[in-house]
Chains A and B, each alone.
Chain A
C-alpha cells in the first residue's frame, strides 16, 4: 500500500527566503505526483503535476522535482512572499490503483514579512 509522508508538518521562514518542501512515497510505481496548495478552510489548488517519466516541472517561482528511485519529490518556492503562506500537500498516483491519489499530511508554511 502506498504511503506518502511530508516532513516537517510546519515551517516558518522570513520573506525572501527560498522554501524547500519535502514529500516521500513508499511505492515507486507511480503514474504521477501532484503538488497542491490549500488555504485555511478552502479547497485544493493544483500547483504542479510531474509525470513518472519526468524529473521536474516548473511554473513561475515554483519548481518540483521527482526522484522515483529514492521515493522523493521536492517543491521549491523561490523568493518566498507572505502570500505563499498556506498548507502544501503532495499526492502520488499509483499505476496499480487506477490512478487514485494518495495524499501526504501536508506542510503548513508561514512566510513572515
Chain B
C-alpha cells in the first residue's frame, strides 16, 4: 500500500523532554511538510523539505528541528524549547512539479 505513515498515533511526554515524531512515505514524493494543528484551528507550517538533505523553516519553526537524510523519511523533533508543544501534528508530502499535498493520519502529542 502506498501512503504516508505517522507513528505513534498518540504520544505522551513530560515537560522538559525532547520527543521525535516519525513520518515515512513510500510515494516517491520529493517534498515533505510538517504542520501543527491546535483545537478548532487550521494548520500552521513548521518545517518543509523539497529535497533530501535540505529543509526550510516554516511559520512556526521555533522549538522544533527536522532532518531529511532519506527521501522517504522526515522526522520532527519537538524540543524542550517549544513552549506549547501539546497539539496534533500532521505530515504531508507532494510530488515534484505538482501542487496537491497528501497527508498522513497525524500524531497527537500531549506534554504534561
A residues with CB within 8 A of B: 4, 6, 9, 31-32, 34, 36, 41-46, 49, 51, 89, 91, 93, 98-101, 103-106
Contact A41 B106 (CB under 8 A): yes
How far in angstroms is the closest Cβ of chain B from A8?
12
Q: Is the CB of B42 within 8 A of A103?
A: yes
The distance in angstroms between the C-alpha atoms of A32 and B100, with both chains bound, is 9
- Quick check: B99 and A31 within 8 Å, CB to CB? yes
**Residues on B facing A (Cβ under 8 Å):** 4, 6, 35, 40-45, 48, 56, 58, 88, 90, 92, 99-106, 108
Contact in complex: A43, B42 (CB < 8 Å):
no
B100 touches A34 (CB 8 A): yes
Is A4 touching B42 in the complex (CB atoms < 8 A)?
yes
B68 to chain A, nearest CB (A): 16
- Known pairs A31-B99, A32-B99, A105-B40; list 8 more (Cβ under 8 Å): A41-B106, A43-B6, A44-B90, A44-B92, A46-B103, A49-B100, A100-B58, A105-B42
Provide the main secondary structure of the chain B interface: strand
B103's partner among A4, A6, A44, A98 (CB-CB below 8 A) is A44
B101 in contact with A42 (CB, 8 Å): no
B44: which A residues are within 8 A, CB to CB?
103
B88 proximity list for chain A (CB < 8 A) = 41
Q: Is the CB of A89 within 8 A of B43?
A: yes
How far is the CB of B46 from the nearest CB of chain A, in Å?
A: 11
Give chain A nearest CB distance to B3 CB in angstroms.
Answer: 10
Whole-angstrom CA separation of A45 from B104 in the bound complex: 9
Chain A residue at smallest Cβ distance from B88: A41
With a cutoff of 8 Å between Cβ atoms, the chain B residues found around residue A101 in the complex are 43, 45, 101
Measured CB to CB, the nearest residue on chain A to B94 is: A99
